[in-house]
Structure 1
Amino acid sequence: MSKKLKSNDVITTKSIKTIIIPEGKIQDYIDGKLRKDTPEEYVRQNIEKRLVNEHKYKKELIRVEFSLKVGNNKPRADIVIFPDDCENFVQENVKIIVECKKEKIDPHDRKEGIEQLKSYMSVCLNCEWGMWTNGLTKIVLRKVADEKGKVQFVEYIDLPTADGKLENVDRPKREDLKEPVEDNLLMVFKTCHNHIYSTEGMQKQPAFFEFLKVIFCKIEDEKNSFEPLEFYVTSNELKSPDGQLTAKKRISKIFEKVKKKYSQIFEENDEIKLSPRTLSYVVSELQKYSVITTQIDVKGKAYEELVGANLRGDRGEFFTPRNVMSMAVKMINPRKGEKVLDSSCGTGGFLVTAMMYIINQFQLDAENKLGRPMSKWSYEEKRTFDENASEIANNIFGFDINPDLVKSSIMNLLMNNEHAKNENVFRLNSLLPPHEWSDELKTNLAKALGIKKESIRNSKSIAWFDVIVTNPPFGSKIPIKDTQILSQFELGYIWEKVNGKWVKTNRLQTSVPPEQLFIERCLQLLKPGGRMAIVIPDSILGSPGLGYIRQWLIEHAKVFASIDLPADTFQPRNGTQTSVLIVQKKTEEELIEEATKGYMNDYDIFMSIVDFVGHDKRGNFIYKTDENGNLVLENVEIKDIIVDNNGEEVEVIKTKQKKVLNDQTVYVPVVFEEWKRKEGLPW
């Protein structure tokens, strides 16, 4: 049993304060008290951090759970802020009130909605501003009196910053754009998407792609660094139909630039389909942030969570969980200078995982060579690193048949690396015969690969990539029946067993599940000696009638690893049992040698069974327990710098106890790396 920790377990030294936070608790960012880790508390903590780090309000002027007197009741306001010159922290001096609710609370709820906020503001005589939020919806009110002294509540885009300058709320200057802290960008993304979904009558996927257009506009406006920002809406514009229309025209002009820049994913006549009212609201939520300069892990997490919530399970597209992608990429070990492809890239998860893996490995190597961390590099060293990161990004390629997923994939890459080239993600049915690819596609692809367009002729002339990481669409519901497609593949033909060996006939199959053809297409796309990590249904590995696929595969490639995944991996939407195969395409020399000898060279195969991937069949997280059924807890250190009451900086080390996710995928690459070393594999 683990030691039971008390809330006052605090150890203090001269310069370092260590705070132990028990599992299920969260330390308040403002007053330091330990509170229950609830959905409502999650919202409040993110707001507190935004008020301090983005709006620049002083912690000492903020109170949490501040008691108010409302008639005969004494409710507690979640957060109140007092003015700079305040000496008496009483109700009448409150300047700003913030009410934080859990997601399921509606802003129009009679007891806990915005009417509650108005009642709190009304009893605080000098309270001018208020904000109500449930993490998905945010409403900001300003209390003003008309000529007759009647109090009115006027809706604004956001709370003013600590300096009180309202003009920065309406039209932020480029230098005033802020980087969102922790999960605030995720909250903003969810707020925007849910607003589109609920007010425009769209399904989740169309709502997501309309939001994506707005994000493209936001990034384009930020990159136009020599001009004033045009991605904004003022509070007055937000209030009137005419003002909303003005704002939409302004954003639509930015979208015209976006369409020209990303002509391969946006049609010339494409437009933002959101109503002026909805678009204005979304812009108002995003305009104060700098998406470009936000830390990669912050914006990457926000985007991935939004993608995961809205783009799953259609047309055989069951997107690979992040931990499985990480496992596969680490095992295949892509390196700087290698061209990496996902032939059915979906929303770009494998592409981003591979790109960031290579960049991180390059950074570690550079830090070891220079003998110091990146934070201590010179300007020239950082510039050289950026150039290399750009080169790495430009070697990442993606194909997908779905134009909307191509947009999503490009945005995913841009969110994680502004150097990523949008030209390297192509809308393409990867199974089409190369001679049927459009002339425009072949021109752009040849340019990106540095080859001649005329060389793109057939399935035997497309071996361009060093590494492929992919999870192709699979299932009998989306079979390939086109004879032009089937005839390119040996696996598109009927095979018969003769004397214990499978032999290909000259008769085409009438229907083939796509994942079977993708195995062969991916090997065609690999250079000789190139390697691949591919997710496939277990039927390919075990069904007696599919033995010809296994025979074909081991004749053309070395299968170095097979990782058996649990049925819950793609749940709650798909229970197909799958495996990850790690294979290396045989070289021409190896094929000739084996043909001459009449048998294949012998080699060992790494095999592993993953029983747990961190979630169950309903998609809920599962955590490790000990032999007695008790949750296993681990200590996680979080370092921070604060200023104490004497004005001196103090390093704070918070040790938070966390449940350990029951995810075995994290161990596989470590064991596989040791196995590769013993086998003498150079990659």
Structure 2
Amino acid sequence: MNLIELGIEKGIIKFDEEQNFITYIQQNKKRNYNNPEEKVQAETFLTLVLIYGYPEKRIKQFVSVQMGSETKEADLIVYNDDDCHSTHILVECKKEDLTDQQFNIAVDQAYSYAVAEGAKYVWTTSRIKNQYYEVPTEKPKSRIEIPDIPQYGIDKLAPYKYVKGGFSQLDNQTNIVSEPNEKNTQKFFELQVVSESELTKIFIQSHQALWGGGQRNPSVAFDELDKLIFCKIWDEKHPRKTGEPYDFQIFRDEDPEDLLKRVKAIYAIGEKEAPEVFKDGITLTAQETLTIVKYFQRINLNKTDLDSKGKAFETFMGSYFRGDFGQYFTPRPIVKFIVDSLPITHKARVLDTSCGSGGFLLYALDKVREQASEYYDVIKDEKDHYKHWHDFAEKNLFGIEINDQIARTAKMNMIIHDDGHTNVIASDGLVTDEEMQANSKNKEFKYNSFDYIITNPPFGSSIKQTEKAYMHNYSLSKKEIDWLNPKDTKETIRDSQSTEVLFIEQCYKFLVEGGYLAVVIPDGILTNSSMQYVRDNIEEMYRIVAVVSMPQTAFSATGAGVKSSVMFLRKHKAKQTEKINNQKNKLKIDLKIENKYIKTIDAWDKEKTVAIKELERLAKLNNPNAPKKDITALIKDDKTTLQQQFTEKVNLLKEEMTEKYFEAKQNLLDDYPIFMAIAEDIGYDATGRETKTNELVEIGTELQKFITHINKTEK
């Protein structure tokens, strides 16, 4: 039961049938509940009565306040007496979607009303953010910010508001006070579990407060917010006795500098415990730190529902990263389809070589968490349930992200989902495993060690040999020997190669034999004739399991219009790769011998040479006194024609040989079924708006069965 429901049950408020209007029964005032401010006002009124214990008869709403020659309206006034003559607390309510600047204006407004009314305390609330002040009795009436307003019957203000094991205001909607505080004892509060929408607003509004509409780079603001959220989560996890206060909150009679020191002390612990996360120090001012603490101090990030937390953070990241960083996000339906299709368990080692903000890793974690519920009761077997999925997160889940800021975001995303962050590293995903281990100090990033790789590598960018020394490490960065060109006998390094192509080979190196790669690739790899060598390499390295075509609009909402597919591949055993390679090489040699390819080319070349010499002889015969250069000029066009005819014949023969090769290869190599599907509607349109159909659900169900069959029958 929440506050609104309890208020109805106790006869404090009532609604019309359509829930369009709320009536405050004590004052018999009917208000429009569709007004965003009214929703905040209703909860604030009920908080004063049901949580803080103030009698209804001592609370008035929509009170006229005389400000000089103007008459204003205070949202709520709490009085010291039953006759409502002596003002105790003045409350100003604002809608939830409020910028920090607008909230500060509301604070100024409320304080001026409080001074005019002779109130002792001021509370300004948007529900997302709360600020409390004590108004001194003597002049000048300078503001004194306090952790909370007093509860009913309390004369002395508490030094802080939130303690471990404190009063659970709305946790699971229990322990709500409905009677005045007769013992005159201060109640401290436990941190609150909040909804997905509320948490999203907290993330967005706190980031906007740091960004300041352009005073700070949004990217820097995001980093600094990251650090404070790390501190918040760290503080919640820090062991403390029941009744001890949390550090990530405002204390009474404290300077903002004191708060900053306390937050930095939390951060210093994090720097020692998780140096890969806590790298750069906090650069925020004391006032900025205070602003963010006000947004987060009341909420319990660790106990807020994991799915709600994840969705809230994802929505926030989407609103921030949309644009320049859109490429780091794979749409949720595609991520879910890939993870659901693979038989990932808590014992599997899972890697994303281009993890971005960690979407694939989080879905893999959620999958294993759901599996834990199949074996253990969440409540009765809490420790075993937790160990099942948490060990997977801590020891078996890995991510690589080239952008240091995005890597930190992925770590934070993992922390919000309760750990696993230590195995996300900031690194170029294409360097060798040894270099990754050396740079990250994480020895787990080893070739031939991962069971599953789930990834969406960056499209369209190229790695140049002149820029990256590791190009020579990749077979796919080398120009393949043309088996139909007798003069082409050695490999050379390409000037450049696309990142998505190199990642296909890098993933092969990281996988164990029999391990699975699920990768989003541009369709050009599958269809362009110039990419045939890539497809040849794929069939040597992998057993092609499935190709699922995505609609053209799959990545439109993130700013990418490249037509793409998801390819599922299973790494061959080394012997199988060698066997395929040998079979193909032998086939090429046999075809050239059977078709007398070299002899035919040589014969045509001799014919061409003889024909050219005949042209020279006739030209000299007809022009006996002409110098050699004139003879060359005379036969130039005819010589070019002969060369073109020779080239056309050779190219035609090459095409015939290539066709014979592919036809023979089809019969030669081991035949196996490949799962093929085309998804036209995957749950959203080009703008990202949800549609009613998601064909990936049904495709994924069938693909799961197909992969299960492969695992049983193809050893």
Letter in 2 for 1:146: T
Alignment of 1:180-195 (within 5 A): 180-182=193-195, 183-195=197-209
Q: Kindly tell me: are residues 174 and 680 of structure 1, through their superposed partners in 2, closer, same or farther at Cα, counting changes over 3 Å?
A: closer
Q: What residue in structure 2 maps to residue 348 of structure 1?
A: 358
Contact 1:431-1:517 within 8 A present in 2 as well: yes
Residue equivalent to 1:412: 413
* Partner residue, 2:192: 179
> Distance in 1 between the 2:60 and 2:699 partners?
47
Equivalent residues of 1:53, 1:181 under 8 A apart: no
Contact 1:300 1:415 in 2 (8 A): yes
- Per the alignment, in what secondary structure is the counterpart of residue 501 of structure 2? helix
Query: Judging changes above 3 Å, is the alpha-carbon distance between structure 1 residues 122 and 358 closer, same or farther for their aligned structure 2 residues?
Result: same
Query: Secondary structure of the equivalent of 2:165?
Result: helix
For 2:375 and 2:54, the matched residues in 1 are separated by 39
Aligned pairs (5 A) from 1:62-73: 66-69=61-64
Identity %: 23
Pairing of 1:551-566 with structure 2 (within 5 A): 551-557=536-542, 558-566=544-552
2:121/2:133 contact within 8 Å kept: yes
Tell me the residue number matched to 1:673: 704
Q: How far off is 1:246 after superposition?
A: 2.4
Q: SS at the partner of 1:252?
A: helix
Q: What amino acid is the match of 1:217? A: C
The two structures have a TM-score, normalised by structure 2, of 0.69
Whole-Å Cα distance in 1 between the matches of residues 22 and 414 of structure 2? 34
Q: What CA distance in whole angstroms lies between the structure 2 residues aligned with 1:56 and 1:98? A: 18
Aligned-residue offset at 1:515: 1.3
Equivalent of 1:604 in 674, 681, 689? 674
Change (3 A) 1:530 1:568: closer
Distance between the aligned counterparts of 1:536 and 1:562, measured in 2? 10
CA distance in 1, matches of 2:23, 2:484: 73
1:112-156 residue CA offsets vs partner (Å, 9 max, x unmatched): 844654576578776843314385xx46253635236x8776544
1:543-558 correspondence runs (5 A): 543-557=528-542, 558=544
Q: In structure 1, how many angstroms separate the alpha carbons of the residues matched to 2:397 and 2:287?
A: 38
In 2, the alpha carbon distance for the partners of 1:667 and 1:91 equals 68
The counterpart of 2:299, out of the listed 273, 282, 289, is 289
Residue 426 of structure 2 corresponds to 427
- The residue aligned with 2:138 is 147
What residue number does 1:230 align with? 247
Residue 575 of structure 1 corresponds to: 561
Q: Which residue of 2 aligns with 1:97?
A: 91
Q: Is the Cα–Cα contact under 8 Å of residues 398 and 425 in structure 1 kept in the other structure?
A: yes
Secondary structure of the structure 2 residue equivalent to 1:274: coil
C-alpha change, 1:302 and 1:478, in structure 2 (3 Å) is: farther
* Partner SS state of residue 304, structure 2: coil
Q: Find the counterpart in structure 2 of residue 362 from structure 1.
A: 372
1:117–1:426: structure 2 CA closer, same or farther, 3 Å change rule?
A: same
Cα distance, 1:171–1:118 mapped onto 2, change above 3 Å? closer
Counterpart Cα distance in 1 of 2:133 and 2:235:
29
Q: In the alignment, which residue of structure 1 is the partner of 2:626?
A: none
Answer yes or no: is the 8 Å Cα contact 2:199–2:312 preserved in 1.
Answer: yes
Q: How far 1:553 sits from its partner (Å)?
A: 1.5
Cα distance in 1 for partners of 2:153, 2:327 equals 49
From 587, 594, 610, the equivalent of 2:573 is 587
- The structural deviation recorded for 1:164 is 5.8
**2:126 corresponds to:** 133
* C-alpha distance in 2 between matches for 1:571 and 1:290: 32
Cα distance change on mapping 1:521 and 1:115 into 2, 3 Å: same
Shift of residue 606, structure 1, vs aligned partner: 2.9
8 Å Cα contact 1:465-1:526 kept in structure 2: yes
Structure 1, 170-179 or 512-521: larger mean CA deviation: 170-179
* Contact persistence 1:495–1:504 (CA under 8 A): no
Letter in 1 for 2:248: F
Structure 2 CA distance, aligned partners of 1:333 and 1:403?
31
Give 2:267's aligned residue. 255
Letter matched to residue 163 of structure 2: K
Contact 1:325 1:349 in 2 (8 A): yes
Distance 1:670 1:504, change over 3 A: farther
Among 13, 32, 43, the alignment partner of 1:48 is 43
3-state SS of paired residue (2:513): strand
Question: Cα–Cα, structure 1 residues 171 and 104, in superposed 2: closer, same or farther, change >3 Å?
Answer: closer
Distance in 2, Cα, partners of 1:537 & 1:249: 50
Say if 1:610 and 1:665, in contact at 8 Å, map to a contact too. no
1:212 matched to 2:222? The reply is: no
Q: 1:338 aligns with which of 348, 356, 373?
A: 348
Task: Map 1:308-457 onto structure 2 (within 5 A).
Answer: 308-314=318-324, 317-363=327-373, 365-366=374-375, 374-375=378-379, 377=380, 381-393=381-393, 394-418=395-419, 420=420, 422-437=421-436, 439=438, 441=440, 444-446=442-444
Return 522-531 or 92-101, whichever deviates more: 92-101
Q: Structure 1 CA distance, aligned partners of 2:271 and 2:563?
A: 41
RMSD (Å), alpha carbons: 4.5
1:342 positional shift: 0.8
1:452-510 residue CA offsets vs partner (Å, 9 max, x unmatched): xxxx6xxxxx111001111112223776654632212121122476579xx99611111
Shift of 1:354: 0.6
Higher RCO (C-alpha 8 Å, min separation 6): 1
Q: Could you say which residue in structure 2 is the equivalent of 1:525?
A: 510
Which amino acid letter does the alignment assign opposite residue 443 of structure 2?
A: L
Q: SS of 2:566's equivalent?
A: strand
- Alpha carbons of 1:162 and 1:303: their partners in 2 closer, same or farther (altered >3 Å)? farther
Q: Secondary structure at the match of 2:518?
A: strand
Is the CA contact (8 Å cut-off) linking 2:61 and 2:77 kept in structure 1?
no
Secondary structure of 1:466's aligned partner: strand
More displaced 10-residue stretch of structure 1: 490-499 or 52-61? 52-61
Runs of at least 5 residues in structure 1 that lack an aligned partner in the other structure: 1-18, 238-242, 368-372, 450-455, 457-461, 625-661
User: Quick check: which one's helix share is greater?
Assistant: 2
Contact 2:65 2:113 in 1 (8 A): yes
**Residues 244 and 109 of structure 1: CA distance in aligned 2, closer, same or farther (over 3 Å):** closer
The residue type paired with residue 95 of structure 2 is: K
Q: Cα gap change, 1:48/1:350 in structure 2, threshold over 3 Å: closer, same or farther?
A: farther
Offset, 1:194: 1.7
Aligned residue identity for 1:670: T
Q: Structure 1 CA distance, aligned partners of 2:382 and 2:57?
A: 39
**Paired residue for 2:686?**
616
Deviation at 1:383, TM superposition (A): 1.5
Deviation of 1:311 after TM superposition, in Å, equals: 3.5
Residue of 310, 313, 337 corresponding to 1:303: 313
SS at match of 1:529: strand
Q: Distance in 2 between matches of 1:495 and 1:231?
A: 60
Q: 1:160 to 1:526 in 2, by over 3 A?
A: farther
Count matched residues: 582
Contact 1:55 1:160 in 2 (8 A): no
Determine helix, strand or coil for the equivalent of 1:541. Answer: helix
Q: Would the alpha carbon gap of residues 29 and 582 (structure 1) be closer, same or farther in structure 2, given more than 3 Å must change?
A: farther
Gaps of at least 5 residues in structure 2 are 1-14, 167-189, 584-666
Question: How much does 1:341 deviate?
Answer: 0.5
- Post-superposition Cα deviations, 1:344-387, rounded to whole Å, max 9, x if no partner, equal 21222211111111111221x215xxxxx534x2xxx2212222
Secondary structure of 1:430 counterpart: coil
Residue 534 (structure 1) aligns with:
519
Task: Verify the 8 A CA contact 1:189 1:306 in the aligned structure 2.
Answer: yes
2:514–2:572 Cα contact (<8 Å) kept: yes
CA contact (8 A) 2:164 2:240 kept: no
Match of 1:514 among 478, 483, 499: 499
**In the aligned structure 2, how far is the partner of 1:489 from the partner of 1:21?**
69
Structure having the higher Rg: 2
Letter in 1 for 2:428: N
Hey, what's the Cα distance between the residues in 1 that align with 2:463 and 2:325?
Answer: 7
Distance change in 2, residues 1:531/1:99 (3 Å): same
Alpha-carbon displacement from aligned partner over 1:251-308 (angstroms, at most 9, x marks no partner):
22222221112223444xx321101211122223323333333332233233323322
TM-score (norm 1): 0.72
Matches for 1:653-664 after TM superposition, within 5 Å: 663-664=694-695
